Amino acid sequence: MSQRLRPVAPIWVAGRPQHGEEEFFVTHPYDESPVGATSWATAGQVEAAVAAAAGAAAECAALPAHVRAEALEHVRRRLDEESETCAELITAESGKPIAWARVEVRRAVSTFRWAAEEARRFGGEVQRLDTDPTADGRMALVRRFPRGPVLGITPFNFPLNLVAHKVGPAIAAGCPIIVKPAPATPLSALHLGALFSETDLPAAMLSVLPVPNHRAELLVDDPRLAVVSFTGSSRVGRQLLRRVPEKHVTLELGGNGAALVTADYPKRDWAAERIAMFGNYQAGQSCIAVQRVFIEAPAYADVAGRIVEHVKALPTGDPNDPACKVGPLIDAEAAARVEAWIEEAVDEGAKVLCGGGPRVGALVEPTVLANVRPDAKVLRDEVFGPVLVLASVEDYAEGLAAVNDSRFGLQAGVFTESLPQAMLAHRTLDVGGVVIGDVPAFRADQMPYGGVKASGTGREGVRSAMEDYTVERVLVLPDTL
């Protein structure tokens, strides 16, 4: 498959386009063809970006809300204008099917729209203090102020929208931000840097620095970067938390998303179709992709059969084909790991209901497994690949317990039309979000998003991230001056 090779993309050092000393190619996961190039930021460029961010922190915090909002609105508008170009760029560097890449661009547009709106309304609150006699004649004004410069570390699976979820809230809150994009997918983030360079924001407010992962510690450790916002693996996230305990660290980590289908849920084919699609979309490379599926026993055979048929019908292959729903993983190494996990589960007695064939490069055939051992990697860990594990549960209580039987706790989906069951799930499930009548992969970009247990700490969603990037400060005033 031929790809148009783009010019070498500049990196963005305190809002200025530069080139590092060492260039590298970005390759297409589908056929490993080069699709673009950029360069690694040098140590000097990293220092310049951090020093500029620290030096501009007070200026950025003092920016009027309308200036921040207008800049964010400009980027929203430009992304909308360039939506197809941005989608093609996402597909080229990540292998994401073009249909899903277009969805990601639309979501990024929405994320910046929300950020522009929140920049205008993110204020404070007034509290009366005369609820106790000792505070007669006093009131409190509670406002939030930027913690300081932010380091945003982003993953490969959403190379545009997860960058937007770092940058949009930071700008809206008045924080300078340095983005370290995933080494495999830096081009979308660099394009975003170019769009921000068109605004009237202080140049030092945004840097986009491709840095090899083994050199990221210099950024993480730098005391001038007050906040570290990381999206990625649980293992790396926990290392970051231990490394800089004195910093404010937010972690959006992994998951092994579960869906629970109740026996009396009337729209079984809807449930099966959604589970099949969102266990495999983006080749399963989403923290909230469906991985574990629990079905109440009376409905198990029917729902499992429907899931298998829908998985078999998913178009796979070339991600540039608009019909493709399941493309390659990020690289052949990731695909080999998923293949090995499937083989290990089968060797231990799992039954393959569909898929399970040998990988081709970075392509893994969508696979559905049953009779999986409780300690199998495909059940206990985050597979991050196109694999579904089905299991029967006797009743709703056992299903909820099965969902909770995980070291992760990001989101869960419950297919029920019972309000009492929905409320019980909300009370019982130890996760960051419960989705009723749909899969755990549902996410609206304005809602609080994040997990518990090994799935992280803090929340994304524009306003929630702004709260993480800022700190409350109380002003106590007399009622009259």
The catalytic site residues sit at 252, 287
- CA atoms of 254 and 256, how far apart (whole Å): 7
Yes or no: say if 335 and 364 are a contact pair by the CB < 8 Å rule.
Answer: yes
**Burial of 409 by CB count in 10 Å (0-12 exposed, 13-18 middle, 19+ buried)?**
buried
Q: How many CA atoms lie within 13 A of 167 on its CB side?
A: 33
**Do residues 17 and 211 lie in contact, with contact meaning Cβ atoms separated by under 8 Å?**
no
| Per-residue DSSP letter, 438 | S
The strands making up 433-436's β-sheet, listed across from edge to edge, are 351-354, 367-370, 387-393, 292-296, 258-261, 411-415, 433-436
- Distance (Å, whole) CA 363 – CA 107: 26
Residue 480 CA to residue 356 CA, distance in Å, equals 74
Residues 6+ apart with CB under 8 A from 145: 61, 470, 471, 473
Q: In the numeric block, which tokens belong to residue 29?
A: 């996961």
Structure tokens at 68: 């921040």
Beta pairing, strands 433-436 & 411-415: parallel
Q: Of 309, 391, 292, 298, whose CA–CA distance to 351 is shortest? A: 391
